[in-house]
Every structure is written in structure tokens, then in C-alpha cells.
């Protein structure tokens, strides 16, 4: 499975399943804390990480002009994050200021960016929800990023929601939040995750039909045999 195919597959696999797949491979530090969908109805997404690193604002670092200039990494990212990728903004878990608002995020959407992920806040939350771009963040916050953050890096290793994100890792977001899949595990996790989803759909159907979880979840040999027949 190549990367594009894996990413496509991953949009149909839940973060619950993916954390389990990663846990089986010894990776337990992959789910972001304090990062959740801005809108209950936004679509799931998967894509490679493209990162922005921000440190705390300090009154002497840059002028208002340089901070809003297209060379500022946070602004540059809006035009340079490749279509299909996920823009990840390391905001150090600061919830009291936004990393951006409706105009910047509209541009991301027009450019085909797959989603926005940050452990900081988002302003113009109502308008951003209306955009349709999947946004995972710490929640709404009106104050602009300028008062809280100073962007210093583009596409570097960063922390987001207490998790390491390396450029090229794949992020998947759904109603539970965001999981980070290390690049070299993407293909196998996509494959095994999709299979786990299929199995769980079958098990869910049995359980809703009245089956006990004993022997079903987790499935024993008999259940697995039944599943094999079911999936044909």
C-alpha cells in the first residue's frame, strides 16, 4: 500500500482503532491531550503533518508588521502547507489565545489542506465551523496569536497535545481527537486498522443482535471463523 492509498484508507479508520494498533506495536504516546474537534459535524481526516513551531510572544521579538508578514513562519505555512497535508501548530497548550481565524483557515481550505491541528485556540469559531475544514484544537479563543505566540520554525519536529510530531508522520482526526502515526508504520497500521474496523463492525452487529461479549469481544476461534464466512 503506497502512502496515498494508506492515507485514503486511514480516513475510514477510527482513532480508537489506530491507538490500539499502535499500542500493539509498542507505541502508547501517540494520542493528543486537550485537542478535540471544533465542530461535532466536521469530517474525519488523515494526512501528513506539516508543522509550525511557536514559542511564547515577547514584546521585543519582531514588530507588528514582521509578525504579519508572509515571511513569518505562521503566515508562510498558510500558503506553503501542501494540499492534502495536515497543518500542525505547536502552541504549547496555551488555550487563551488563537493560532488563527476564519480568513487564514478559509485559505487553507481553498488550498486543499486536509485539516488543522493545534493544542492552542481558534478564533471566529462560529465562522470556522461553517467553513467545513476539519479543525482539532483546544477550543475557541478570541485573542489573536500575536499576543501569545512567536513563530520560529517550519516543518520541524514539534510537540502538540503532549505528543511528538515529526514532519511526514501521518495524523488522523475524528470525534475522539487526533492520533499521530509514525511515517514508517503508516502502511501496516492502515492495513491492519482497516481490517480491525471490518471485524469490529461484524462484532458490533452480533452484539447489537444480542450476543454476549464473552467469546465475541475479543473474538474466540469460533467467532473468527464466523467472521471469515461473513466477510466472504
- The nearer residue to a copy of itself, 55 or 225, going by C-beta atoms, is 55
Q: From residue 1, how far is each of 7, 53, 69 by CA, in Å?
A: 10, 31, 40
Candidate ranges 5-13, 71-79, 186-194, 221-229; the one touching a copy of itself (CB under 8 A): 71-79
Does the footprint of a copy of itself cover residue 222 (CB under 8 A)? Answer: no
Site for a copy of itself in 134-163 (CB under 8 A): 139-144, 146-147, 150, 152-153, 156-159, 162-163
Which of 47, 73 has the CB closer to a copy of itself? 73
Q: Residue 54 Cβ, how far from a copy of itself at the closest point, in Å?
A: 8
Give the pairing of strands 163-165 and 158-160: antiparallel
CA–CA gap between residue 201 and residue 215 (Å, rounded): 16
Tell me which residues in 163-192 interact with a copy of itself (CB under 8 A). 163-166, 174-177, 179-180, 182, 184-185
Please state the φ and ψ torsions of residue 98, each to the nearest 5 degrees.
Answer: -90, 155
Tell me how far, at minimum, the Cβ of 232 lies from a copy of itself, in Å. Answer: 22
Determine the Cα–Cα distance for residues 187 and 6; give it in Å rounded to an integer: 5
Interface with a copy of itself includes 102 (CB under 8 A)? yes
**Pairing relationship of beta strands 158-160 and 149-154 according to DSSP bridges:** unpaired
* CA-wise closest residue to 107 among 135, 79, 137: 79
Q: Does 224 bind a copy of itself (CB under 8 A)?
A: no
Amino acid at each position: 500500500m503506497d502512502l496515498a492509498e494508506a492515507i485514503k484508507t486511514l480516513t475510514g479508520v477510527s482513532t480508537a482503532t489506530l491507538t490500539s494498533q499502535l499500542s500493539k506495536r509498542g507505541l502508547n504516546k501517540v494520542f493528543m491531550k486537550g485537542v478535540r474537534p471544533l465542530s461535532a459535524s466536521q469530517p474525519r481526516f488523515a494526512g501528513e503533518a506539516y508543522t509550525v513551531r511557536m514559542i511564547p510572544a515577547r514584546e521585543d521579538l519582531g514588530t507588528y508588521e514582521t509578525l504579519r508578514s508572509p515571511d513569518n513562519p505562521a503566515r508562510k505555512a498558510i500558503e506553503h502547507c501542501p494540499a492534502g497535508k495536515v497543518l500542525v501548530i505547536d502552541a504549547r497548550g496555551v488555550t487563551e489565545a488563537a493560532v488563527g481565524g476564519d480568513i487564514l483557515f478559509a485559505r487553507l481550505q481553498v488550498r486543499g489542506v486536509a485539516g488543522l491541528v493545534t493544542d492552542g485556540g481558534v478564533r471566529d469559531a462560529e465562522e470556522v465551523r461553517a467553513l467545513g475544514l476539519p479543525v482539532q484544537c483546544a477550543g475557541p479563543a478570541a485573542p489573536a496569536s500575536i499576543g501569545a505566540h512567536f513563530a520560529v520554525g517550519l516543518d520541524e519536529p514539534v510537540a502538540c497535545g503532549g505528543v511528538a510530531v515529526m514532519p511526514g508522520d501521518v495524523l488522523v482526526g475524528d470525534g475522539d481527537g487526533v492520533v499521530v502515526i509514525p511515517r514508517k508504520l503508516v502502511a501496516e497500521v492502515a492495513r491492519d486498522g482497516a481490517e480491525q474496523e471490518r471485524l469490529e463492525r461484524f462484532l458490533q452487529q452480533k452484539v447489537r443482535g444480542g450476543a454476549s461479549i464473552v467469546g465475541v469481544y475479543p473474538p474466540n476461534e469460533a467467532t473468527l471463523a464466523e467472521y471469515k464466512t461473513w466477510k466472504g
